[in-house]
Structure 1
Amino acid sequence: MNVNETDLRNIYCVGRNYRLHAAELGNEVPTSPMIFTKPTHAVIRMEDGLLKLPGSQGSIHYEAELVVAVGRPYEPGIRCDELFTAFTVGLDLTLRDVQERLKAKGQPWLAAKGFRNSAAFGKWLAFPGSTAIKEGDFAFRINDQEVQRGNANDMVFDLQLIADFVGTNYGLGVGDVLFTGTPAGVGALSDGDRLDVRWNEESLGRLTVAIAG
Protein backbone atom coordinates (compact mmCIF):
# COMPACT_ATOMS: atom_id res chain seq x y z
CA MET A 1 0.00 0.00 0.00
CA ASN A 2 1.56 3.29 -1.11
CA VAL A 3 0.65 6.74 0.15
CA ASN A 4 2.46 9.53 -1.66
CA GLU A 5 3.50 12.08 0.96
CA THR A 6 3.91 14.74 -1.74
CA ASP A 7 0.14 14.58 -2.34
CA LEU A 8 -0.88 15.05 1.29
CA ARG A 9 -3.40 17.79 1.95
CA ASN A 10 -4.23 18.03 5.65
CA ILE A 11 -2.44 16.51 8.63
CA TYR A 12 -4.81 16.29 11.59
CA CYS A 13 -3.56 15.20 15.01
CA VAL A 14 -5.47 14.09 18.10
CA GLY A 15 -4.05 15.30 21.40
CA ARG A 16 -4.31 13.42 24.73
CA ASN A 17 -6.04 10.39 23.24
CA TYR A 18 -4.42 7.93 25.69
CA ARG A 19 -5.18 8.41 29.38
CA LEU A 20 -1.74 7.45 30.68
CA HIS A 21 -0.06 9.91 28.32
CA ALA A 22 -2.31 12.72 29.50
CA ALA A 23 -1.48 11.77 33.08
CA GLU A 24 2.29 11.69 32.53
CA LEU A 25 2.20 15.31 31.35
CA GLY A 26 -0.20 16.41 34.07
CA ASN A 27 -3.04 17.09 31.63
CA GLU A 28 -6.74 16.37 31.96
CA VAL A 29 -8.29 13.82 29.63
CA PRO A 30 -10.48 15.77 27.17
CA THR A 31 -14.21 15.13 26.89
CA SER A 32 -14.15 15.56 23.10
CA PRO A 33 -11.30 15.10 20.61
CA MET A 34 -8.58 17.74 20.87
CA ILE A 35 -7.49 18.42 17.30
CA PHE A 36 -4.47 20.32 16.01
CA THR A 37 -2.74 20.33 12.64
CA LYS A 38 0.72 20.20 11.13
CA PRO A 39 1.77 21.72 7.79
CA THR A 40 2.71 19.35 4.99
CA HIS A 41 6.22 20.84 5.06
CA ALA A 42 6.67 18.98 8.37
CA VAL A 43 6.59 15.57 6.64
CA ILE A 44 9.61 13.28 6.47
CA ARG A 45 9.65 9.63 5.44
CA MET A 46 11.48 7.19 7.70
CA GLU A 47 13.92 5.63 5.25
CA ASP A 48 17.20 5.15 7.09
CA GLY A 49 18.24 8.76 6.61
CA LEU A 50 18.86 11.66 8.98
CA LEU A 51 16.16 13.33 11.02
CA LYS A 52 17.43 16.91 11.12
CA LEU A 53 16.05 18.80 14.12
CA PRO A 54 16.60 22.24 15.69
CA GLY A 55 18.73 22.32 18.81
CA SER A 56 18.22 25.89 19.99
CA GLN A 57 14.59 25.78 21.17
CA GLY A 58 14.73 23.33 24.06
CA SER A 59 13.95 19.63 24.29
CA ILE A 60 12.41 17.76 21.37
CA HIS A 61 10.05 15.00 22.45
CA TYR A 62 8.95 11.95 20.48
CA GLU A 63 5.36 10.74 20.36
CA ALA A 64 4.81 7.48 18.44
CA GLU A 65 1.32 7.11 16.98
CA LEU A 66 -0.88 5.11 14.66
CA VAL A 67 -1.48 7.20 11.55
CA VAL A 68 -4.36 6.53 9.14
CA ALA A 69 -4.79 7.77 5.57
CA VAL A 70 -8.14 8.84 4.09
CA GLY A 71 -8.99 7.23 0.75
CA ARG A 72 -12.36 8.81 -0.05
CA PRO A 73 -14.32 11.93 0.93
CA TYR A 74 -16.07 11.90 4.29
CA GLU A 75 -19.85 11.89 4.30
CA PRO A 76 -22.23 11.50 7.26
CA GLY A 77 -22.75 7.86 8.19
CA ILE A 78 -19.64 6.52 6.45
CA ARG A 79 -17.83 3.78 8.35
CA CYS A 80 -14.16 4.36 9.07
CA ASP A 81 -13.47 0.98 7.46
CA GLU A 82 -14.65 2.53 4.20
CA LEU A 83 -12.94 5.87 4.81
CA PHE A 84 -9.41 4.75 5.71
CA THR A 85 -7.34 2.86 3.16
CA ALA A 86 -3.86 2.74 4.73
CA PHE A 87 -2.08 3.09 8.04
CA THR A 88 1.42 3.35 9.42
CA VAL A 89 3.27 4.18 12.61
CA GLY A 90 4.57 7.73 12.71
CA LEU A 91 6.22 10.22 15.01
CA ASP A 92 4.56 13.44 16.14
CA LEU A 93 7.60 15.43 17.29
CA THR A 94 7.15 18.26 19.76
CA LEU A 95 9.28 21.15 20.96
CA ARG A 96 8.17 20.55 24.53
CA ASP A 97 9.59 23.71 26.14
CA VAL A 98 8.01 25.82 23.41
CA GLN A 99 4.69 24.01 23.86
CA GLU A 100 4.66 24.67 27.61
CA ARG A 101 5.22 28.38 27.04
CA LEU A 102 2.44 28.50 24.45
CA LYS A 103 0.05 26.62 26.73
CA ALA A 104 0.77 29.04 29.57
CA LYS A 105 -0.16 31.96 27.30
CA GLY A 106 -3.18 30.21 25.78
CA GLN A 107 -1.63 30.43 22.32
CA PRO A 108 -1.80 27.95 19.40
CA TRP A 109 0.69 25.08 19.27
CA LEU A 110 1.96 25.57 15.71
CA ALA A 111 5.47 26.66 16.72
CA ALA A 112 5.80 23.57 18.93
CA LYS A 113 4.20 21.02 16.62
CA GLY A 114 4.62 22.28 13.05
CA PHE A 115 8.36 22.71 12.56
CA ARG A 116 10.12 20.97 9.67
CA ASN A 117 10.54 17.19 10.03
CA SER A 118 8.07 17.07 12.92
CA ALA A 119 5.78 14.56 11.16
CA ALA A 120 7.67 11.35 10.39
CA PHE A 121 5.95 8.47 8.57
CA GLY A 122 6.90 4.81 8.41
CA LYS A 123 6.01 2.46 5.55
CA TRP A 124 2.31 2.43 4.75
CA LEU A 125 0.26 -0.76 5.05
CA ALA A 126 -3.27 -1.58 3.89
CA PHE A 127 -5.81 -0.61 6.55
CA PRO A 128 -7.16 -3.91 7.95
CA GLY A 129 -10.32 -2.48 9.51
CA SER A 130 -11.10 -0.85 12.83
CA THR A 131 -11.57 -4.20 14.60
CA ALA A 132 -8.51 -5.95 13.20
CA ILE A 133 -6.19 -3.01 13.92
CA LYS A 134 -6.91 -3.47 17.63
CA GLU A 135 -5.35 -6.92 17.44
CA GLY A 136 -1.87 -5.48 16.81
CA ASP A 137 0.50 -3.31 18.82
CA PHE A 138 2.61 -0.44 17.61
CA ALA A 139 5.93 0.33 19.23
CA PHE A 140 8.84 2.76 19.14
CA ARG A 141 12.47 1.97 19.83
CA ILE A 142 15.42 4.24 20.48
CA ASN A 143 18.87 2.69 20.13
CA ASP A 144 17.24 -0.78 20.09
CA GLN A 145 15.42 -0.16 23.39
CA GLU A 146 11.62 -0.03 23.39
CA VAL A 147 10.32 3.22 24.90
CA GLN A 148 6.67 3.17 23.81
CA ARG A 149 4.06 0.52 23.06
CA GLY A 150 0.42 1.17 22.24
CA ASN A 151 -2.79 -0.44 21.07
CA ALA A 152 -5.88 1.15 19.52
CA ASN A 153 -8.00 -0.48 22.23
CA ASP A 154 -6.61 2.06 24.68
CA MET A 155 -7.67 5.17 22.78
CA VAL A 156 -10.00 7.56 24.59
CA PHE A 157 -11.74 8.32 21.27
CA ASP A 158 -11.83 5.45 18.80
CA LEU A 159 -11.22 5.71 15.07
CA GLN A 160 -14.90 6.03 14.17
CA LEU A 161 -15.47 8.85 16.63
CA ILE A 162 -12.33 10.65 15.44
CA ALA A 163 -13.40 10.30 11.81
CA ASP A 164 -16.88 11.63 12.53
CA PHE A 165 -15.60 14.52 14.64
CA VAL A 166 -12.97 15.70 12.17
CA GLY A 167 -15.09 14.98 9.11
CA THR A 168 -18.07 16.90 10.47
CA ASN A 169 -16.19 19.87 11.88
CA TYR A 170 -13.31 20.31 9.43
CA GLY A 171 -13.79 17.93 6.52
CA LEU A 172 -11.89 14.84 5.40
CA GLY A 173 -10.92 13.89 1.88
CA VAL A 174 -8.42 11.99 -0.21
CA GLY A 175 -4.90 13.03 0.78
CA ASP A 176 -5.73 13.73 4.42
CA VAL A 177 -4.08 11.80 7.26
CA LEU A 178 -4.80 11.50 10.97
CA PHE A 179 -2.31 11.05 13.80
CA THR A 180 -4.46 9.28 16.40
CA GLY A 181 -2.62 9.99 19.66
CA THR A 182 0.34 8.63 21.59
CA PRO A 183 0.56 6.24 24.55
CA ALA A 184 2.61 6.88 27.68
CA GLY A 185 6.39 6.89 27.55
CA VAL A 186 7.19 10.09 25.68
CA GLY A 187 10.57 11.68 26.25
CA ALA A 188 13.38 13.74 24.76
CA LEU A 189 15.50 12.85 21.74
CA SER A 190 19.28 13.23 21.68
CA ASP A 191 21.73 13.79 18.86
CA GLY A 192 22.72 10.45 17.31
CA ASP A 193 19.69 8.50 18.55
CA ARG A 194 18.64 5.67 16.23
CA LEU A 195 14.86 5.59 15.86
CA ASP A 196 12.72 2.63 14.80
CA VAL A 197 8.89 2.53 14.50
CA ARG A 198 7.24 -0.91 14.53
CA TRP A 199 3.96 -2.65 13.89
CA ASN A 200 3.58 -6.16 15.34
CA GLU A 201 7.36 -6.27 15.80
CA GLU A 202 8.00 -5.47 12.11
CA SER A 203 10.06 -2.36 11.50
CA LEU A 204 8.23 0.17 9.34
CA GLY A 205 10.94 2.82 9.29
CA ARG A 206 14.19 4.07 10.76
CA LEU A 207 15.93 7.42 11.10
CA THR A 208 19.00 8.75 12.90
CA VAL A 209 18.63 12.01 14.81
CA ALA A 210 20.87 14.94 13.86
CA ILE A 211 20.33 17.95 16.15
CA ALA A 212 21.89 21.21 15.03
CA GLY A 213 22.28 24.39 17.05
Structure 2
Amino acid sequence: MNEIRNIYCVGRNYVEHAHELNNQVPTSPLLFSKPTHSLVKANGEEITLPSDRGAVHYEAELVIRIGQPYKKGMKVDELVDRMALGIDFTLREVQSELKKKGHPWLLAKGFPNSAVLSEFIDFPGVEECKKSNFSLMLNGEQVQLGTIQHLIFDLQTLIDYTALHLGLGEGDVIFTGTPQGVGKVSDGDELSLLWDAGKLGDCTIKLT
Protein backbone atom coordinates (compact mmCIF):
# COMPACT_ATOMS: atom_id res chain seq x y z
CA MET A 1 0.00 0.00 0.00
CA ASN A 2 3.08 2.25 -0.06
CA GLU A 3 1.98 3.91 -3.30
CA ILE A 4 -1.18 5.28 -1.63
CA ARG A 5 -1.04 8.75 -0.08
CA ASN A 6 -4.40 10.32 0.79
CA ILE A 7 -7.58 8.25 1.14
CA TYR A 8 -10.62 10.29 0.15
CA CYS A 9 -14.15 8.90 0.42
CA VAL A 10 -17.54 10.03 -0.84
CA GLY A 11 -20.70 9.55 1.18
CA ARG A 12 -24.23 9.11 -0.15
CA ASN A 13 -23.31 9.01 -3.84
CA TYR A 14 -26.07 6.56 -4.85
CA VAL A 15 -29.68 7.63 -4.38
CA GLU A 16 -30.96 4.27 -3.14
CA HIS A 17 -28.19 4.01 -0.56
CA ALA A 18 -29.06 7.44 0.83
CA HIS A 19 -32.68 6.35 1.08
CA GLU A 20 -31.94 3.02 2.78
CA LEU A 21 -30.23 4.86 5.64
CA ASN A 22 -32.92 7.57 5.74
CA ASN A 23 -30.44 10.25 4.69
CA GLN A 24 -31.06 13.24 2.47
CA VAL A 25 -29.59 13.10 -1.02
CA PRO A 26 -26.71 15.62 -1.04
CA THR A 27 -26.54 18.57 -3.42
CA SER A 28 -22.72 18.52 -3.53
CA PRO A 29 -20.20 15.73 -2.89
CA LEU A 30 -20.02 14.67 0.75
CA LEU A 31 -16.32 14.09 1.39
CA PHE A 32 -14.49 12.50 4.28
CA SER A 33 -11.12 10.81 4.64
CA LYS A 34 -9.51 7.81 6.29
CA PRO A 35 -6.01 7.58 7.79
CA THR A 36 -3.44 5.34 6.15
CA HIS A 37 -3.62 3.05 9.20
CA SER A 38 -7.08 2.04 7.97
CA LEU A 39 -5.67 0.42 4.81
CA VAL A 40 -5.65 -3.35 4.43
CA LYS A 41 -5.53 -5.67 1.43
CA ALA A 42 -8.32 -8.07 0.48
CA ASN A 43 -5.85 -10.82 -0.37
CA GLY A 44 -7.63 -13.85 1.02
CA GLU A 45 -6.53 -13.45 4.62
CA GLU A 46 -8.36 -12.55 7.82
CA ILE A 47 -9.24 -8.92 8.46
CA THR A 48 -9.63 -8.02 12.13
CA LEU A 49 -12.40 -5.59 13.07
CA PRO A 50 -13.68 -4.34 16.45
CA SER A 51 -16.62 -6.06 18.12
CA ASP A 52 -17.05 -3.71 21.08
CA ARG A 53 -18.43 -0.59 19.36
CA GLY A 54 -21.68 -1.82 17.85
CA ALA A 55 -22.46 -3.10 14.37
CA VAL A 56 -19.77 -2.99 11.68
CA HIS A 57 -21.30 -2.43 8.22
CA TYR A 58 -19.75 -3.23 4.85
CA GLU A 59 -19.94 -0.67 2.02
CA ALA A 60 -18.48 -1.88 -1.30
CA GLU A 61 -17.16 0.78 -3.66
CA LEU A 62 -15.23 1.44 -6.85
CA VAL A 63 -11.89 3.02 -5.96
CA ILE A 64 -9.84 5.12 -8.38
CA ARG A 65 -6.13 5.97 -8.10
CA ILE A 66 -4.74 9.30 -9.28
CA GLY A 67 -1.67 8.82 -11.46
CA GLN A 68 -0.30 12.37 -11.69
CA PRO A 69 -0.68 15.80 -10.06
CA TYR A 70 -4.04 17.40 -10.78
CA LYS A 71 -4.23 20.47 -12.96
CA LYS A 72 -7.49 22.32 -13.57
CA GLY A 73 -9.20 21.14 -16.72
CA MET A 74 -7.68 17.65 -16.75
CA LYS A 75 -10.06 14.81 -17.57
CA VAL A 76 -10.62 11.59 -15.66
CA ASP A 77 -8.96 9.46 -18.32
CA GLU A 78 -5.82 11.60 -18.09
CA LEU A 79 -5.60 11.49 -14.31
CA VAL A 80 -6.71 8.01 -13.26
CA ASP A 81 -4.23 5.25 -13.99
CA ARG A 82 -5.48 2.37 -11.82
CA MET A 83 -8.66 1.20 -10.14
CA ALA A 84 -9.64 -1.28 -7.46
CA LEU A 85 -12.66 -2.38 -5.50
CA GLY A 86 -12.86 -1.48 -1.85
CA ILE A 87 -14.90 -1.85 1.31
CA ASP A 88 -15.52 1.19 3.49
CA PHE A 89 -16.21 -0.48 6.83
CA THR A 90 -18.34 1.69 9.11
CA LEU A 91 -19.18 1.55 12.81
CA ARG A 92 -22.84 2.37 12.18
CA GLU A 93 -23.98 3.05 15.73
CA VAL A 94 -20.92 5.22 16.39
CA GLN A 95 -21.62 7.12 13.19
CA SER A 96 -25.26 7.69 14.18
CA GLU A 97 -24.21 9.18 17.51
CA LEU A 98 -21.61 11.40 15.86
CA LYS A 99 -24.18 12.64 13.34
CA LYS A 100 -26.61 13.51 16.15
CA LYS A 101 -23.93 15.62 17.80
CA GLY A 102 -22.83 17.24 14.55
CA HIS A 103 -19.35 15.74 14.94
CA PRO A 104 -17.04 14.46 12.19
CA TRP A 105 -17.32 10.79 11.22
CA LEU A 106 -13.67 9.90 11.76
CA LEU A 107 -14.17 7.58 14.74
CA ALA A 108 -16.79 5.63 12.78
CA LYS A 109 -14.83 5.49 9.52
CA GLY A 110 -11.12 5.66 10.29
CA PHE A 111 -10.40 2.72 12.60
CA PRO A 112 -7.67 0.19 11.65
CA ASN A 113 -8.61 -2.09 8.73
CA SER A 114 -11.64 0.02 7.81
CA ALA A 115 -10.39 0.73 4.26
CA VAL A 116 -10.16 -2.57 2.41
CA LEU A 117 -8.69 -2.65 -1.09
CA SER A 118 -8.57 -5.38 -3.71
CA GLU A 119 -5.71 -5.65 -6.16
CA PHE A 120 -5.41 -2.69 -8.54
CA ILE A 121 -6.03 -3.12 -12.25
CA ASP A 122 -5.56 -0.73 -15.17
CA PHE A 123 -8.30 1.87 -15.46
CA PRO A 124 -10.05 1.26 -18.80
CA GLY A 125 -11.46 4.77 -19.18
CA VAL A 126 -14.78 6.21 -18.07
CA GLU A 127 -16.89 4.95 -20.96
CA GLU A 128 -15.57 1.39 -20.71
CA CYS A 129 -15.96 1.49 -16.94
CA LYS A 130 -19.64 2.36 -17.35
CA LYS A 131 -20.19 -0.95 -19.16
CA SER A 132 -19.24 -3.03 -16.13
CA ASN A 133 -20.65 -3.71 -12.68
CA PHE A 134 -18.99 -4.27 -9.33
CA SER A 135 -20.46 -6.46 -6.63
CA LEU A 136 -19.91 -7.70 -3.11
CA MET A 137 -20.52 -11.32 -2.18
CA LEU A 138 -21.21 -12.24 1.45
CA ASN A 139 -20.77 -15.96 2.15
CA GLY A 140 -21.41 -16.67 -1.53
CA GLU A 141 -24.52 -14.49 -1.83
CA GLN A 142 -24.57 -11.18 -3.70
CA VAL A 143 -25.49 -8.35 -1.33
CA GLN A 144 -24.42 -5.28 -3.33
CA LEU A 145 -24.35 -4.47 -7.03
CA GLY A 146 -23.28 -1.14 -8.49
CA THR A 147 -22.22 0.71 -11.62
CA ILE A 148 -20.75 4.18 -11.97
CA GLN A 149 -23.61 4.98 -14.36
CA HIS A 150 -25.75 5.45 -11.24
CA LEU A 151 -23.44 7.81 -9.35
CA ILE A 152 -25.09 11.04 -8.22
CA PHE A 153 -21.79 12.86 -8.75
CA ASP A 154 -19.77 11.37 -11.59
CA LEU A 155 -16.03 10.72 -11.50
CA GLN A 156 -15.16 14.05 -13.13
CA THR A 157 -17.21 15.96 -10.56
CA LEU A 158 -15.63 14.03 -7.69
CA ILE A 159 -12.12 14.67 -8.94
CA ASP A 160 -12.64 18.38 -9.59
CA TYR A 161 -14.40 18.93 -6.26
CA THR A 162 -11.81 17.01 -4.27
CA ALA A 163 -8.92 18.80 -5.97
CA LEU A 164 -10.48 22.22 -5.36
CA HIS A 165 -11.15 21.71 -1.67
CA LEU A 166 -8.50 19.23 -0.51
CA GLY A 167 -5.87 18.92 -3.22
CA LEU A 168 -5.24 15.88 -5.38
CA GLY A 169 -2.00 14.30 -6.51
CA GLU A 170 -0.25 11.13 -7.57
CA GLY A 171 -0.97 8.23 -5.25
CA ASP A 172 -4.22 9.61 -3.86
CA VAL A 173 -7.25 7.31 -4.00
CA ILE A 174 -10.96 8.07 -3.99
CA PHE A 175 -13.61 5.66 -2.69
CA THR A 176 -16.43 6.79 -4.98
CA GLY A 177 -19.49 5.75 -2.96
CA THR A 178 -21.49 2.64 -2.19
CA PRO A 179 -24.75 1.37 -3.74
CA GLN A 180 -27.68 0.07 -1.75
CA GLY A 181 -27.46 -3.18 0.18
CA VAL A 182 -25.09 -2.28 3.00
CA GLY A 183 -25.31 -4.48 6.05
CA LYS A 184 -23.70 -5.94 9.14
CA VAL A 185 -20.76 -8.33 9.16
CA SER A 186 -20.41 -11.22 11.59
CA ASP A 187 -17.41 -13.15 12.83
CA GLY A 188 -16.27 -15.63 10.19
CA ASP A 189 -18.05 -13.98 7.26
CA GLU A 190 -16.38 -14.40 3.89
CA LEU A 191 -16.44 -11.38 1.57
CA SER A 192 -15.53 -11.27 -2.11
CA LEU A 193 -15.23 -8.25 -4.42
CA LEU A 194 -16.10 -8.83 -8.07
CA TRP A 195 -15.62 -6.73 -11.20
CA ASP A 196 -18.23 -8.22 -13.53
CA ALA A 197 -17.63 -11.96 -13.01
CA GLY A 198 -13.96 -11.64 -12.10
CA LYS A 199 -12.88 -11.69 -8.46
CA LEU A 200 -10.42 -8.93 -7.53
CA GLY A 201 -10.21 -9.58 -3.80
CA ASP A 202 -11.56 -11.51 -0.87
CA CYS A 203 -11.18 -11.76 2.89
CA THR A 204 -12.56 -13.39 6.05
CA ILE A 205 -13.84 -11.27 8.94
CA LYS A 206 -12.46 -11.72 12.44
CA LEU A 207 -14.30 -9.73 15.10
CA THR A 208 -12.31 -9.12 18.27
Counterpart pick for 1:113 among 71, 88, 109: 109
CA distance in structure 1 between the aligned counterparts of 2:125 and 2:65, rounded to whole angstroms: 12
Equivalence map 1:58-207=2 (5 Å): 58-207=54-203
Which aligned runs of 4 or more in structure 1 are off by greater than 4 angstroms? Answer: none
For the aligned residue pairs, the C-alpha RMSD in angstroms reads 0.5
Equivalent residue in structure 1 for 2:33, among 37, 40, 52: 37
Map Cα deviations across residues 103-148 of structure 1 (whole Å, 9 max, x no partner).
0000000000000000000111100111110000000001000000
How many residues get paired? Answer: 208
Alignment of 1:1-80 (within 5 A): 5-80=1-76
What is the alpha-carbon distance in structure 1 between the residues aligned to residue 32 and residue 166 of structure 2?
A: 11
Identity across the alignment (%)? 48
Question: What is the alpha-carbon distance in structure 1 between the residues aligned to residue 59 and residue 28 of structure 2?
Answer: 20
For 1:102 and 1:168, locate their aligned partners in 2 and report how far apart those are by CA, in whole Å. Answer: 26
The alpha-carbon deviation at position 75 of structure 1 amounts to 0.7
TM-score (norm 2): 0.99
The Cα of 1:7 is off from its aligned counterpart by: 2.8
Structure 2 residue identity aligned to 1:127 = F
3-state DSSP of counterpart to 2:81:
strand
Q: How far apart in 2 are the matches of 1:169 and 1:73?
A: 15
